[in-house]
Amino acid sequence: MDKQRNLTGQVSELNISTNVLAMIPQELMELRIIMPFRFDEETKILDVVTARYKDVCKDIAMISEIISRENPNIKGIRPFAVTYENFLSGFSAHYKQVFTSSVAISTSSNQVVVDSGKITSEQTKLADEILKKGIEASASDIHITPAGEAAYVHFRIDGKLRDSGLMLKVEDEVILGNIYKRNAGIEVNNLVGQDGRFTFLGRDFRLSTQPYGDDAIRNKIVLRIIGKSENNLSLDTLGFDETEVSQLRKMIYKPSGIILVCGPTGEGKSTTLYSSISELAANTDKVIVTVEDPIEKYIDGVAQTQVRIAETEKNSLTFAKALRSMLRQDPNVIMVGEIRDKETAIVAVQASQTGHLILSTLHVRNSISVFRRLADMGANVGGFAEQIVGITSQRLLSVNCPHCAKAIVSPLNKELRKADLALLPDGIDSVTGKEGKVTYVSSGCEMCNHTGFMGRIPVVEMLEFNNYLRDYFSLHHGLIDIEKYLRKNFGFKSLWDKSMAHVASGKVSLKELFSKIEPDEDLGDWNEDR
């Protein structure tokens, strides 16, 4: 950020024309705490004073766009910082009225103060409208983020966080948070982070709240849109190829053992697990139970339990405690939301040894790193290796919009292995005319709502274990040795390998690939005997 520009003197004493004062809608002034005071006819830049300098600078492009819609003659804004008191007195002097924003700032503590009492019909409509817009935009998550004297609403679409164009006053932000909390059946005035869920327009919403700053009444809110409430999960709709679906189906019908689904948050692990147990529930008479944190989707015929963390360990229900308890319920299949610690890993192994099929997730970057992660937890790697049935690792990659995709000779080409470059077609850069290995990137158009993307596709690496593979992993080989062994003896293809195929076909940009997956090591001639 450039050095902050400060306005010297009092805003109330500035000579501002009525034409300049009319250049910003009052609603925007109240939301952003900005006020125009000078317009440069030559550069078409509007100078504004603001009591929220950093926030305005952060969102300057969006604010400029909003203002230019009302007045196309304005090409941009240039903010100058003033104190809140200076801003208020200047506003009152030039507009001959009191600043009516619902936000007030104490001059002594600089804390936000808001009346969060009654809920108006307009606020209820606004709460519903945000949920509707999220559904209509095919968002996976809705973020309501406090920032100074306002709050911003963003939608996560195709894995990317997008500005919704909605800005909330603090009063509305607090009330909306209370509405969502009440819908989810959680405490309104609780000062700790909370989780809950509710249904709206046939969609399940998972609510997560986290207190904001040292203000007891404001929260960072995340609403995950789970999907349609009817049970429509299937292995055949995951987006995996036929071989991968066949492998996964073979694994989940095993009578016992452990299946792990790996990857970062938000990459489809839960969907894979839910699809697996949904298929088992529909096609077998097996008793299926789960322990989750939180329960994201209810499945017919499955007994699902929510992890609970209380003030004391005695009253808490952890993954390990719940798993032990479930073993007394005579289950055939147990889904554990996540293996987070040594205790849960130990109980999972013990459960699989007594004839149960365990499905769970592990936060690790790829499938070959699983046993190293378990070792770091202090788990018995050998015991785990004996019981492992299969490991999958997956990512969700944003797909280029086919309507605005253009061929480019990417600067990221120099980061690729020779084997990767060999997959890419020869072509001409649509912008520079340069010849070379081309990939595709989308700049955005009306068809993709100017995002450059249309949906996401999964990429998955899958290891189906046999005794030879179990023995090999239990010997604690290094990651490079493991990868060479898998490629040579099992035809293993990594996340990177499978993603490069999508890049070569034009579906995925190199930038998207590098943002999601770490490139494979150049293993040289990995077919050589070691």
- Given a cut of 90, is residue 48 above it in pLDDT? yes
Read off the tokens for 524.
């040289």
**Pairing relationship of beta strands 288-292 and 257-262 according to DSSP bridges:** unpaired
Helix runs in 302-406, H state only: 319-326, 342-353, 370-377, 381-387
Least confidently predicted of 33-37, 60-64, 228-232: 228-232
Does residue 84 have a pLDDT over 80?
A: no
Report pLDDT for 194: 81
What is the rounded end-to-end Cα distance, in angstroms, of the chain? 53
Per-residue pLDDT, 505: 95
For the chain, how many residues are written? 530
Predicted pLDDT of residue 232: 64
- Reported as a pLDDT band with limits 50, 70 and 90, residue 150 is confident
Distance (Å, whole) CA 405 – CA 453 = 9
> Mean per-residue pLDDT for 106-115?
35
Highest mean pLDDT among 49-53, 226-230, 291-295: 49-53
Question: Between 269-283 and 242-252, two packed helices, what is the crossing angle to 10 degrees?
Answer: 60
Return mean pLDDT, the chain.
84
**Which tokens belong to 515?**
């943002």
Q: What is the rounded average pLDDT of the residues 50-63? A: 81
DSSP state of 75: -
Rounded percentage of the chain residues whose pLDDT exceeds 70: 89
Residue 3 corresponds to which amino acid? K
* Interatomic CA distance for residues 64 and 48, integer angstroms: 11
The answer to whether residues 85 and 107 touch, using CB atoms and an 8 Å cutoff, is yes
By mean pLDDT, which of 114-128, 264-278, 329-343, 380-394 is the weakest? 114-128
Domains with residue ranges and CATH for the chain: 11-99 (3.30.300), 121-228 (3.30.450.90), 235-397+454-516 (3.40.50.300), 399-453 (no CATH)
Q: What is residue 315's predicted lDDT score, i.e. its pLDDT?
A: 62
pLDDT tens-place string over residues 183-239: 887 877 666 778 888 888 878 888 988 888 765 678 899 999 876 544 467 899 899
pLDDT at 101 over 70: no
Top-ranked range on mean pLDDT: pick from 99-113, 136-150, 220-234: 136-150
Higher-pLDDT residue of 425 and 383 is 425
pLDDT at residue number 294 = 76
Q: Which of these ranges, 6-15, 108-117, 214-223, 241-250, has the smallest mean pLDDT?
A: 108-117
- Residue 521 is predicted with a pLDDT of 74
Q: What CA–CA distance (Å, rounded) separates 301 from 287? A: 8
Are 425 and 438 within 8 A, CB to CB?
yes
One-letter amino acid identity for 475?
Answer: L
Least confident of 32-36, 93-97, 356-360: 93-97
Distance CA 68, CA 198 (A): 39
Whole-number Å distance between alpha carbons of 174 and 165: 19
pLDDT score of 240: 94
Residue 374 corresponds to which tokens in the numbers above?
């378990």
Q: Which residues contact 138 (CB under 8 A, 6 or more apart)?
A: 157
The pLDDT of residue 88 is above 60: yes
Write the CA distances from 125 to 60, 140, 145, 224, integer angstroms: 28, 21, 19, 19
pLDDT in tens, 455-501: 899 999 999 999 989 888 887 678 888 888 898 888 899 999 999 99
Residue 25 to residue 529: CA distance in whole angstroms: 73
In the prediction, which pLDDT does 115 show? 41
Model pTM score: 0.67
Burial group, residue 275, by CB count within 10 angstroms (0-12, 13-18, 19+):
buried
**Confidence (pLDDT) at 530:** 39
Confidence of residue 504 (pLDDT cuts 50, 70, 90): very high
119 in Cβ contact with 178 (< 8 Å) = yes
Residue 104's DSSP bridge partners are 113
Res. 65 pLDDT band, cuts 50 70 90? confident
227-252: average pLDDT: 83
List of residues 6+ apart from 405 with CB closer than 8 A: 440, 441, 442, 506
Confidence of residue 445 (pLDDT cuts 50, 70, 90): confident
The predicted-structure confidence for 318-364, as pLDDT tens digits, reads as follows: 778 888 888 888 899 999 988 888 888 888 898 999 999 999 999 98
- Whether residue 5 is predicted with pLDDT greater than 50 in this model: the reply is yes
Higher pLDDT, residue 387 or 150: 387
DSSP 219-261: EEEEEEEEEESS----GGGS---HHHHHHHHHHHTSSSEEEEE
